[in-house]
Amino acid sequence: MVFNSIAFVVFLPIVVLLFYLLPHKWRWLMLLAASCVFYMWFVPKYILILLVTIVIDYAAGILMEHYADQPRKKKTYLIISIVSTLMVLMVFKYLNFITENLDQLCASLGMETHLMTHIILPIGLSFHTFQSMSYVIEVYRGHQKAERHFGYYSLYVMFFPQLVTGPIERPGNLLRQLHEKKEFRYENISKGMRLILFGFFVKMVVADHLGEYVDEVYGHLDEYNSWTVLCCMVFYSFQIYCDFFGYSTIALGSAKLMGFDITDNFKSPYLSKSIAEFWHRWHISLSTWFRDYVYIPLGGSRVKYGRWVFNILVVFVLSGIWHGAAWTFLLWGFAHGLLHVVEKTLRKALPTRGHTPLTLLGFGNALRVAKTFVLVTLFWVMFRATDFEHLKAIFVTAFTNFGGGEQMSVKPGVWIYLGLFILSDILLRNTRFDKWCDDKPLVLRWLIYAALAFMVIACSSVCNFPFIYFQF
């Protein structure tokens, strides 16, 4: 089930109503059933894959706790759990990519092979496998008690608001809350509704309208001039942000309706002054996952320079591969990692600069934000390109075709929606829409609700754009 569908609009109120009507002891069952319905709405049989990882990690958690005083056994169960989870990911996400490349490699060596597989990726696989892994690692480290209730553990992995596109939750946050008895509070309903409304606006009005132009231009590069392609690059930056941010905000709102607080995934990432800051503000649940479970175990920054560079590049390349099984994603991750290294190295190497005329005028930060945005935008091209040929074609058209081709005409409404979003992003830099509304006068608040509701209903794109991160 996707959030921007009529099915979800009917589903969510029913689930929330049942949640508050049922006694606490039955709520987990209802939520689990609802989560199964939510997931099975896509392709029902894929729930079996989910079930396999749930059973393995559930058992591993208990066994690790049972053998807490036998480190070797404990570690063995951790490895079994992680390897089996990664195997699932490997088969369903990476096998097509691996076999395709093996075929190509063999072909280049003059051998004809037909290893290529055509496995369809179950929706949200990368998200819930990472969430499962965070549980077993936390149990192994002793930060989390193993969950004995299979239902609650299943619900932790399958909790429908964040099941298919995150945020990737930690057991310390979500599993704990699932056990808590939630009372009906008007405040939760109000905040949840605000977040859902704002999320719909960001996804359906901003992201989907931009998506129409991005698909058109990236699909017909030969017809457009450089200005159009450059504009389209910027549009894609906002499309992917709004698409993912919109989904996460709806997820947050849906959980909030039932009193659950799940992790904020974004904090105005395009206002970052460096790549490092960007990753503190973009897809926070994934960044912190890699930080806690890969970067720090590798030694983090408390190692020699060469090793630190290696650690950073490993984390970013893994992050790229996590997104998708393609060389372009790997390149995207590597580019971010490399830039992160260069930025940090330069900052250390260069002496602290004094005031320049620009910084004195207050433009220093603005310039740094602009620089980061431009670089991130250029990198998004790697993320969006279907392959290296496409990537090359985008860059070639963007920088060499200023004279020829058509100029895309963008409807004024789209600029307005984008402008409104940028304004909201600046206003919400260190807060969230639901919290931001709290201290606003009632009339202003309701005017904002009315405007958002109107735009969601009457101005949203009618094209069918699935959430971009569904494919991961």
Partner 1 sequence: MKKLLIRIVMVLVMLVVLNWVYSKWFFEKDLRKHSDIVELSWQVVDDSCRIIYLGESSNNNYGEKEVNHRKISDFTSDYFPTIKMGDLTKKASHAQTYYYMLKHIPKSSSVETVVVTMNLRSFGPLWIYSKLETPLRKQLVLLEDRPPLVNRFLLAFKAYPIKTEEEWNEFVFEHWRNDTFNIPDFPWRTTADWDYGMYSYGWYDFHGQRDWDLTALACHYIKTYAFQIDDDNPRVKDFDAIVDLCRERGWNLVFNLMAENVDKANELVGKDLMKLFRLNRDYLLKRYGNMEGVTVVNNLSLVRDVNFIDQDWTTEHYYEEGRRIIADHLALTLRDFYPNDYQNPDSLKMDIGHYFLGGTMALDRQNPYSMTLVLTADSIRPDWDMVNVAFEIKQADGLNNAIFAVEKHDAQGEKSIDSYAVKLQVQKSGIWDFATFALPIDSTFRMAQKIKLYVHNFSESAVQIRNLDVSLRPAYLKPRVKAKSYKSDDVDSGK
Enumerate the active-site residues: 323
Q: What are the distances in angstroms from CA 202 to CA 241, 249, 273?
A: 9, 9, 23
Q: Which helix (H) or strand (E) holds 117?
A: none
Nearer to partner 1, 186 or 352 (CB): 186
Nearer to partner 1, 201 or 380 (CB): 201
Residue 158: closest CA among 144, 145, 175: 175
d(CA 463, CA 211): 9
Instruction: Count the alpha carbons within 13 Å of 72 in the hemisphere toward its beta carbon.
Output: 0
- Whole-number minimum distance, CB 196 to partner 1, in Å? 12
- Whole-number minimum distance, CB 322 to partner 1, in Å? 26
Are 88 and 52 in contact by the 8 Å Cβ rule? The answer is yes
- Whole-number minimum distance, CB 344 to partner 1, in Å? 42
d(CA 270, CA 266): 10
**Cis omega before residue 167 (within 30°)?**
yes
Residues that bind partner 1 (CB under 8 A): 4-6, 8-9, 186, 189-190, 204, 215, 446, 449-450, 453-454, 456-458, 460, 462-464
Are 349 and 206 in contact by the 8 Å Cβ rule? The answer is no
- Whole-number minimum distance, CB 455 to partner 1, in Å? 10
Are 391 and 380 in contact by the 8 Å Cβ rule? The answer is no
> Using the 8-state DSSP alphabet, how is residue 408 labeled?
P
Residues whose CB is less than 8 angstroms from the CB of residue 357 and which lie 6 or more positions away in sequence, other chains included? none
Nearer to partner 1, 64 or 195 (CB): 195
Nearer to partner 1, 81 or 460 (CB): 460
With H, G, I as helix, E, B as strand and everything else as coil, classify residue 202: helix
- Whole-number minimum distance, CB 190 to partner 1, in Å? 7
Nearer to partner 1, 211 or 337 (CB): 211
